[in-house]
Amino acid sequence: MRIIAVINQKGGCGKTTTAINLGACLAGLSRRVLVVDLDPQAHATLGFGVDQGEFRLSSYDLLMEGRDGLLSSDMIISLNERLDLIPSDVMLSAAEPVLLQRDGREHVLESVLAPLDGRYDFVVLDCPPNIGVLTFNALYACTEAIIPMESGLFALHGLAKLLETIDVVNGNREVPIEVHALATMFDRRTRIAHESLEELRKHMRGRVFRTVVNFNVKLKEASGYGMHILEYDPDSQGAKDYLALAREVLSARPSARKRRKKEGFLKPVVTEDGVLFTYYSPEATSVHVVADFNGWDTSGLPMENVAGTGMWQRFVPLKKGRYEYKFLVDGRWVSDPDNPRRAANEFGENSILEIA
Q: Which of 25-34, 221-230, 303-312, 344-353 has the lowest mean pLDDT?
A: 303-312
**% of the chain at pLDDT higher than 90:** 47
Helix, strand, coil percent values for the chain (each to nearest 5): 35, 25, 40
Q: pLDDT band for position 300 (50/70/90)?
A: confident
Q: pLDDT band for position 263 (50/70/90)?
A: very low
In a domain, 260, yes or no: no
* CATH number of the domain residue 273 falls in: 2.60.40.10
pLDDT value at residue 170: 85
Contact by Cβ (8 Å): 25, 139: no
Buried residues in 280-290 as b, exposed as e (16+ CB within 10 A): bbbebeebbbb
The range of the structural domain enclosing residue 208 comes to 2-251
Answer left, alpha or beta for residue 40, where phi above 0 means left and psi between -120 and 50 means alpha.
Answer: alpha
Q: Is the pLDDT of residue 347 over 60?
A: yes
Give the integer Cα–Cα distance in Å for 314 and 302: 7
Note whether 241 and 299 are same-domain residues: no
- Sequence-distant (6+) residues with CB within 8 A of 137 are 38, 63, 99, 105, 106, 107, 108, 109, 110
- Better-predicted residue by pLDDT, 106 or 325: 325
Note whether 140 and 229 are same-domain residues: yes
Note whether 50 and 184 are same-domain residues: yes
Note whether 190 and 338 are same-domain residues: no
Output the pTM of the full model.
0.72
Note whether 205 and 328 are same-domain residues: no
Note whether 19 and 106 are same-domain residues: yes
Average pLDDT over residues 94-112: 83
Average pLDDT over residues 42-59: 90
* CATH number of the domain residue 88 falls in: 3.40.50.300
Note whether 142 and 205 are same-domain residues: yes
Q: What angle do CA 217, 220, 226 make, to 5 degrees?
A: 140
Q: pLDDT band for position 281 (50/70/90)?
A: confident
In a domain, 181, yes or no: yes
Domain count, the chain: 2
In a domain, 263, yes or no: no
Contact by Cβ (8 Å): 146, 7: yes
Give the integer Cα–Cα distance in Å for 308 and 285: 10
- Strands 304-305 and 311-316, bridge-based pairing: antiparallel
Question: Where is the domain boundary, 251, 286, 303?
Answer: 251
In a domain, 256, yes or no: no
**pLDDT for 210-252, tens place per residue?**
999 998 899 999 988 999 999 999 999 999 999 999 999 998 8
Give the integer Cα–Cα distance in Å for 261 and 169: 10
